[in-house]
């Protein structure tokens, strides 16, 4: 099956966080506070998927209050943090959404994603993913993690599903009809 055929079936995009929605760096201040940077282009990609009834979920081994705030801002409701066994997390999402594995895309970048990325319909990675993940990926972004890889994947899914023109029309030509503007 081609990557286009796989993308046409997607109803849910699951994202890893560190190295996918961020550049993978964690900054720690003198008082122990954590900092992570998220790309607004990736945020807009998430919003475009959600506006087209393609759900987005987070599946990450780490836990942080920063991620909780960012996902709330974007409207992501399926957020599984602290998931060392990501296959179990995938199973939870399958049960919660009643979707089949072939209806799910997963974007990951490193070895903790190795098992789960093999169990979904569309495997994706940023350009700076480790070799073992890149070899498994159906879709390889030209962008690095935290720098537009999720956005590129979102656009690819929307275009292959014939939803791109409507997205441009409804979100950007008539934005007053779409109340969510935080990317």
As annotated, the binding site for substrate includes: 18
Cα separation, 134 vs 157, in Å, equals 19
> Residues forming the annotated binding site for Mg(2+)?
16, 109
DSSP tag of 11: S
Letter string b/e over residues 6-35, b meaning 16 or more CB atoms within 10 A of that residue's CB? bbebbbbbbbbbbbbbbbbeeeeeeeeeee
Segment holding 167, helix H or strand E: helix 164-167
Beta-bridge partner residues of 50: none
Query: Which residues have CB under 8 Å from 29's CB, separation 6+?
Result: 35
Segment holding 157, helix H or strand E: helix 149-160
Cα separation, 130 vs 95, in Å, equals 29
> Residues forming the annotated binding site?
16, 18, 109
């Amino acid at each position: 099956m081609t990557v286009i055929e796989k993308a046409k079936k997607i109803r849910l995009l699951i994202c890893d966080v560190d190295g996918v929605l961020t550049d993978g760096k964690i900054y720690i201040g003198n008082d122990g506070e954590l900092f992570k940077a998220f790309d607004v282009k990736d945020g807009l990609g998430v919003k475009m998927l959600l506006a087209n009834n393609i759900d987005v979920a987070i599946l990450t081994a780490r836990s942080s209050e920063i991620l909780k705030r960012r996902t709330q801002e974007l409207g992501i409701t399926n957020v599984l943090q602290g998931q060392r066994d990501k296959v179990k997390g995938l199973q939870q999402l399958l049960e919660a959404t009643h979707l089949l594995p072939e209806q799910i895309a997963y974007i990951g970048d490193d070895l903790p994603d190795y098992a789960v990325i093999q169990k979904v319909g569309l495997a994706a990675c940023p350009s700076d993913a480790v070799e073992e993940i890149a070899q498994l990926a159906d879709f390889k972004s030209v962008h690095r993690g935290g720098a537009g890889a999720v956005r590129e994947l979102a656009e690819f899914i929307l275009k292959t599903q014939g939803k791109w023109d409507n997205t441009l029309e409804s979100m950007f030509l008539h934005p007053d009809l779409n109340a969510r503007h935080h990317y």
